[in-house]
Amino acid sequence: MNIILSIIIPSAAGVLIYLLPSKFNKTKNVLFLAAAALNFLIAVVFYGKIICICDASAYLVNLFFRNYELNSFMAVFLAAVTLITSIYAVAFMKQNKKTQVFYGSMLLALSCVNGVLFSDNFIFFLFFWEALMIPMFLMIASGENKPVPTAIKAFTISAVADLCLMFGVMLVCVAGDSFSISKGICELKAVVPGTYGLFTTTAFIMLFIGAAAKLGAMPFHSWIPEASAKAPVAFMVFMVTAVEKILGIYLLIRITNDFFIIEQSSFISVSAMTFGIITALVANALAMVQTDFKKMLSYASIGQAGFMIVAVSTMSVIGTVAALIHMHAHVIYKSGLFFVSGNIEKAEGSTDMNVIKGGLRKSMPYTFVAFLLSGAAFAGVPFFYAFYSKEMIYESALSVHWIFYAGLLICSLIAIITIINWGARLFFNGQNNSAFEDKEASTWMFIPTIIFALACALLGLFHQVPLKIISVVLNLNLPETHSNVLTVILILISLILFILAVLNFIKAYKKKTDYLGYALPAAKFLKIDKLNLNENLDPYNIFISFIKRLSKVLFVADKALNYFYDLVIPAGIGEMARSTRKAHNGNMSVYLLWVLIGIVCIFIIF
């Protein structure tokens, strides 16, 4: 019953909010919060209870919903994030005239995500997965500063990736001879690279693209930074930080643990890890050169998607557990940082460093504390939640090859330098370029912010609790042969990395130059700043340019085909008719000649 309620209640409340007249704004707020709270209550009450629902009339086509440990964990976590985000959204969007659209769309999106998580049938899975694009489009469109083009961009990119997912699902259904997700298991195993079956390899690639795109991995990422500048902050927390990461990791784990059997260090495993490393490196480098806080967080979120992909793609127990823990940690600290950006935007009118002033630690002390806690988790500071998940990812990557570990270390160094830079510029730099009044965030905006910030510290101190829960959720046990010596060495390397980033900042601060220090000339040498400004390198723009050129070629081909059908063929038929009339002119000698030619042809052929 909880499955049906978790789908019906948010969608029904969302539709009702759409239909209510604008004069019932307070009623909409109450209904929005009540639906989010009720969804959370349902998820908690029915957590972990194995329930299977089916309609007897639909039994033959396996139309099932399923509730078990993994999707229950995801549903509870999403419900908690949704409830906290809904409180922030109501406080933040008081002056927004499109709250009706945003609230209704957010609840419809929640319903779709619950449908995806609980579906044990590929038909329902695809229905809810594809339907999610509609509320996502509407949520972006409810923003300001002409958000519709960005919404169209997000919709287009998602649609292309989802087509790949649909194709992969079709192949898995054929291979498993069932629409049931539980039964859709294919074997993808080989000793020598290149010996995989084309059918199963294609299925894996298509499903992997769908999952990676949902995580926001490159090249399906470019709508996210744009949305950060157009859509409300609550959208970035709910959809980009929570929904996208939860669904992406959920599908990746199902792919690597249920649908396929893939060997560690195999060609497919290494290829997927390479894809994740490239995403992490490029995204973190782009995050470093941003001048807008929300855009920096967006690129950093894309970079962390690369971390998760690397972890899952190791095809190891520790990698799978690390990916889920890091997803959990990332959603928490990144939500806290996005709420910090929203608080700053509310006070200063912008999150662009060219507009706002620094020194916000004095005018926004509580937001500063929240930034310190969430930022420490972002940087992977010891005893904060993300520190442990990153160390596990490092170890899983090192078990495959040291080059992947080195790549992740570089990404982490860039991330630490980036967050220190923003902390200094936002809260310590004394420039005054803002015409807006300084003030701390309202109580109902600060409460969600500090909840996530405190969670970063508390879950770090008691990290064994989520680790045990997630191990049970995945039904996986960490290997007993875990090397304590290796763990200590990896932690020491991480500490050295953090110290290097701090020393880099101190040197830059003393020179009173950009707080990025040595990272800035390195970025300019690699032309990262130009890459950031060059819209022609945007994968979406490249795709649209290709489509436009292809349409021109097809237009010319269509004109040529029309010319052939309208002019060439009629002219040819007319000429044949005239020739036929000449051959059949009523002259007896001509007919006798045709008969003679026919007899000769018969003798030649036979």
CA distance 489 to 497: 12
The per-residue pLDDT for 61 is: 36
What is the average pLDDT value for the chain, to the nearest integer? Answer: 84
Spatial distance between the Cα atoms of 177 and 62, rounded to a whole number of angstroms: 11
Q: How does pLDDT run across 218-255, given as a tens digit for each residue?
A: 888 888 988 988 888 999 999 999 999 999 999 999 88
Q: What is the pLDDT of residues 270-301, one digit of tens each?
A: 999 999 999 999 999 999 988 889 999 999 99
Residue 260 near residue 187 (C-beta atoms within 8 A)? yes
Q: How far is CA 499 from the centre of its chain?
A: 31
pLDDT of residue 546: 80
Phi, psi (rounded to 5 degrees) for 352? -90, 130
Sign of the four-CA dihedral 514, 517, 522, 528: negative
**Confidence at residue 57, expressed as pLDDT on a 0 to 100 scale:** 43
Who contacts 2 (Cβ-Cβ below 8 Å, separation ≥6)?
42, 43, 45, 46, 49, 51, 67
CA distances from 443 to 90, 312, 404, 448 (A): 12, 39, 44, 9
Percent of the chain beyond pLDDT 70? 88
**The pLDDT of residue 1:** 52
CA–CA–CA angle 220, 221, 222 (5° rounding): 110
Of 45-59, 195-209, 324-338, 561-575, the one with minimum mean pLDDT is 45-59
> How many CA atoms within 13 Å lie on the side-chain side of 358?
12
Confirm if 167 and 206 have CB atoms less than 8 A apart: yes
pLDDT at 63: 56
Residue 481 has what pLDDT? 47
The torsion angles phi and psi of 121, rounded to 5 degrees, stand at: -135, 130
Domain ranges, ordered by start, for the chain: 1-262, 296-317+329-533, 535-578
pLDDT tens-place string over residues 187-216: 444 433 444 577 788 888 999 999 999 998
Structure tokens at 410: 């570089």
Instruction: List the alpha helices (DSSP H) in 255-381.
Output: 267-288, 293-313, 317-348, 360-363, 365-379
Residues forming a β-bridge with 66: 52
- What is the mean pLDDT of the segment spanning 476-497? 76
Q: Which of 369, 380, 382, 344 is nearest to 452 (CA)?
A: 369
Cα–Cα distance, 338 to 98 (Å, whole number):
20
Cα distances from 363 to residues 71, 340, 354, 380, in angstroms, run 42, 13, 19, 27
pLDDT tens per residue across span 18-33: 888 877 888 888 999 9
**Three-class SS state of 66:** strand
When pLDDT is averaged across residues 554-560 and rounded to a whole number, the result is: 84
Cα-Cα-Cα-Cα dihedral of 152, 158, 159, 160, to 10°? 110
Q: Facing residues of 64 across strands?
A: 54
Give yes or no for a cis peptide into 219 (omega within 30° of 0).
yes
- pLDDT grade for 2, boundaries at 50, 70 and 90: low
DSSP 8-state class, residue 191: S
Buried b (16+ CB within 10 A) or exposed e, 268-280: bbbebbbbbbebb
The predicted pLDDT at position 475 comes to 76
Please count the CA atoms within 13 angstroms of the CA of 580 that sit on its side-chain side: 6
pLDDT in tens, 34-61: 999 999 999 888 876 655 555 544 443 3
Where does the pLDDT of residue 390 fall: very low under 50, low under 70, confident under 90, or very high at 90 and above?
A: very high
CB proximity list for 563: less than 8 A, separation 6 or greater: none
Q: Is the pLDDT of residue 182 over 80?
A: no
Q: Decide which of 594 and 344 is more confident.
A: 344
Assign 3-class secondary structure to 320-349. HHHHHHHHHHHHHHHHHHHHHHHHHHHHHC
- Residue (of 270, 479, 305, 454) closest to 392 by Cα position: 479
pLDDT for the residue numbered 593: 74
Evaluate whether 201 touches 188 at the Cβ level (below 8 Å): yes
- Name the least confident of 132-136, 346-350, 382-386: 346-350
Closest CA to 152 of 128, 129, 134, 165: 134
Rounded to whole angstroms, the Cα distance separating 318 from 486 reads 14
Task: Please tell me the least confidently modeled range out of 5-9, 62-66, 231-235.
Answer: 62-66
